[in-house]
Amino acid sequence: MNKFPYIITVSSEKGGVGKTTLATNLAIFLKALDEDLPVSIFSFDNHFTIDKMFSFKGDKHEHTVTDLLSGETGNQLLQTGQYGVNFIPSSQNLSQAKKMIKGPMSLARMISTSEMDGILIIDTRPDLDILTENALYAADKVLIPVKDMPSLENCRNIFALFDKRGLDKKSLVLIPCLIDERIKFDGLFADQKTLLRAFAINRGYKCHDTYISKSPKVESLNTNPDGKIYPVLTHGRGTDVHGQFTALARDILADYQATKEPRSLLFHNWLEAENEKERISYEARLGGLNRDCLICKRNILPESIGTAGYYYETSDGIFSGFLEEDCFLKVLSQSIYNIKGQISDEDPTLMLLRESTRDSIFVLRPHPENCSSAVEFRRYDSSGQLLTNRRINYRDHAGGMFHDDRCPLYDIVGTTLSGYGNSFREAFLIIHPVEPGRPDKILQKESYRSFSTIKGSIAAMIT
Ligand SMILES: Nc1ncnc2c1ncn2[C@@H]1O[C@H](COP(=O)(O)OP(=O)(O)OP(=O)(O)O)[C@@H](O)[C@H]1O
Ligand SMILES: [Mg+2]
């Protein structure tokens, strides 16, 4: 059975608010509360705090967070760490890794197939870069530490990101951190945490009941002669922070247990539904294809699909199919280059043409000035840049493979674009090269999307 983790992201644009301390210690307290619960952690920061805290002496780190971002299965990157917490070692190449991220939901997609289980905690950099953004959207709960008014002000940007994308903000929860209990105020808001909480609630932010105090003992845990970072659980007993982390971990454990369907599972289900929709669209596209080559009339589907060299589709989507590569090249050589008579398959002109057409997209339509006697022939490069625009008259060419004196391009236009009575439809035919041996790939998701994009931009140019 697939596994789907409950994800907690710790994030704040403000540096030094206690994110990493919160993320790492929360992982340890959660594991201490339930030793059977898989708890994992990784960081999008390159401070290597996580590595220092969880690595066993002499551990070799074969994988890093970069491998996760490049598509490797998360579960296989996890390293067993101290205190029973699994971790993915941090990466020094995060700027490289960032380039692999294609959009804001990439991490959610990766984690939904990561086979990770239990609770996954993600620590982030004090920056709303694409990695943080991904970590925010993937999370069931985003803990936002706030220690003062500037950090509270900064939360606005996280909330605004969710608003911009129309995402539900219920996952976002503020938590007062580094609270100095010695500071007291006169009046209604007697101390820092009460004041911060009041401001947070006033702005419509959810705020955690628990807070984390500032403690000299906790501060000293990452400054010691051993060069280690010690956890609050083992080295901060007796401090308020120890009790606060216990309370926080209990709350989070209760939320985890109450969440029957974590976001990673919902995302997985959504992806499955999308894939199914895409499969149905692909099959509909395949099923709607004209089964013969437009030129030689040989059946090109499904047995001989491997020999197709071009895919064609009318701009109104009514007619679509594949063309044998050599058929179309011969038509081009006759109609555009005016080569007369039969052409052998080894003809150097044909070979040259084959090479140059692999990066071209062709458009045919009845000529706008005289549709009954001419065809407009356009050639574009693969980015949609117009290379050629020619008028080909009905009887411009002097015979060829069909032993008749009609321009074969005119036949193609007639077959695909004829309308009611003797008229043509207000449309054009686009002919696009396909991957040799895999012509049907053009009908699949990404390729069909790029084909449709180019078709759309050509339509915008010529209509
Ligand atoms: N409860 C606490 N009491 C005292 N000191 C703390 C506490 N929590 C964190 N600190 C100290 O505050 C400093 C910043 O903490 P931490 O590194 O967790 O913040 P951060 O938000 O992750 O910082 P960055 O934005 O640089 O990643 C560290 O020196 C840490 O030891
Ligand atoms: Mg940090």
List the Cα angle 302/411/405 in 5-degree steps: 125
Enter the DSSP assignment of 84: G
Query: Beta strands 360-366 and 429-433: pairing type?
Result: antiparallel
CA-nearest of 112, 168, 113 to 136 is 168
| Cα 214 to averaged position of ligand 1 atoms, centre (Å) | 9
Ligand 1 within 6 A of CB of 214: yes
| Cα 8 to averaged position of ligand 2 atoms, centre (Å) | 15
Tokens 């010695």 correspond to 182
For a ligand 1 pocket test, name from 127, 211, 219 the mutation site with the most ligand atoms within 8 angstroms of its C-beta.
219
| Cα 169 to averaged position of ligand 1 atoms, centre (Å) | 26
| Cα 113 to averaged position of ligand 1 atoms, centre (Å) | 32
294 contacts: CB under 8 Å, gap ≥ 6: 312, 321, 323, 327, 412, 415, 416
261 contacts: CB under 8 Å, gap ≥ 6: none
Ligand 1 atom at shortest distance from the alpha carbon of 177? 1
CA-nearest of 435, 428, 424 to 462 is 428
* DSSP 3-state percent helix, strand, coil across the chain (nearest 5): 40, 15, 40
Question: What spatial distance separates the first Cα and last Cα of the chain, rounded to whole Å?
Answer: 52
Question: Is the C-alpha dihedral spanning 396, 400, 405, 410 positive or negative?
Answer: negative
Q: Which two tokens stand for residue 143?
A: 């803990």
| Cα 25 to averaged position of ligand 2 atoms, centre (Å) | 12
Ligand 1 within 6 A of CB of 20: yes
Q: Which two tokens stand for residue 355?
A: 């090479």
Tokens 């990157």 correspond to 77
Tell me the average confidence (pLDDT) per consecutive run of 10 residues in the chain, 463 residues long: 91 95 98 97 92 91 93 95 97 88 93 96 96 97 95 94 94 95 82 90 93 94 85 95 98 97 96 94 89 85 73 95 90 80 74 86 93 91 93 65 65 91 92 90 92 95 82
Ligand 1 atom at shortest distance from the alpha carbon of 145? 21
Ligand 1 atom 2: the closest Cα is on which residue? 214
| Cα 243 to averaged position of ligand 1 atoms, centre (Å) | 18
pLDDT for the residue 370: 85
Ligand 1 within 6 A of CB of 375: no
| Cα 254 to averaged position of ligand 2 atoms, centre (Å) | 26
CA-nearest of 244, 225, 224 to 233 is 244
Structural domain boundaries of the chain? 6-271, 289-462
List the Cα angle 184/189/193 in 5-degree steps: 70
Ligand 1 atom 31: the closest Cα is on which residue? 219
Ligand 1 within 6 A of CB of 396: no
Q: Is 8 within 8 Å of 252 (Cβ atoms)?
A: yes
Ligand 1 within 6 A of CB of 179: no
For a ligand 1 pocket test, name from 20, 131, 244 the mutation site with the most ligand atoms within 8 angstroms of its C-beta.
20
| Cα 21 to averaged position of ligand 2 atoms, centre (Å) | 7
Query: Beta strands 386-393 and 6-10: pairing type?
Result: unpaired
CA-nearest of 231, 267, 237, 269 to 39 is 231
Q: What topology is assigned to 6-271 in CATH? A: Rossmann fold (3.40.50)
Three state DSSP letters for 32-81? HHCCCCCEEEEECCCCCHHHHHHCCCCCCCCCCHHHHHCCCCHHHHCEEC
Ligand 1 within 6 A of CB of 241: yes
Ligand 1 within 6 A of CB of 219: yes
Strands (E) in 112-156, as ranges, are: 119-123, 141-146
Ligand 1 atom 6: the closest Cα is on which residue? 219
Find the ligand nearest to 127 CA.
1
The CA distance from 66 to 43, in Å, is: 11
Find the ligand nearest to 14 CA.
1
Q: Is 178 within 8 Å of 147 (Cβ atoms)?
A: yes
389 contacts: CB under 8 Å, gap ≥ 6: 376, 377, 378
Q: Is 26 within 8 Å of 208 (Cβ atoms)?
A: no
pLDDT for the residue 144: 97
Considering only CA atoms, give the Rg of the chain. 32
pLDDT for the residue 410: 86
Half-sphere exposure of 12 (CA within 13 A, CB side): 27
- H-helix or E-strand containing 173? strand 172-176
CA distances in angstroms from 129 to 25, 95, 155, listed in the order given = 24, 11, 14
| Cα 16 to averaged position of ligand 1 atoms, centre (Å) | 5
| Cα 135 to averaged position of ligand 2 atoms, centre (Å) | 14
Ligand 1 within 6 A of CB of 45: yes
pLDDT for the residue 403: 46
For a ligand 1 pocket test, name from 10, 21, 26 the mutation site with the most ligand atoms within 8 angstroms of its C-beta.
21
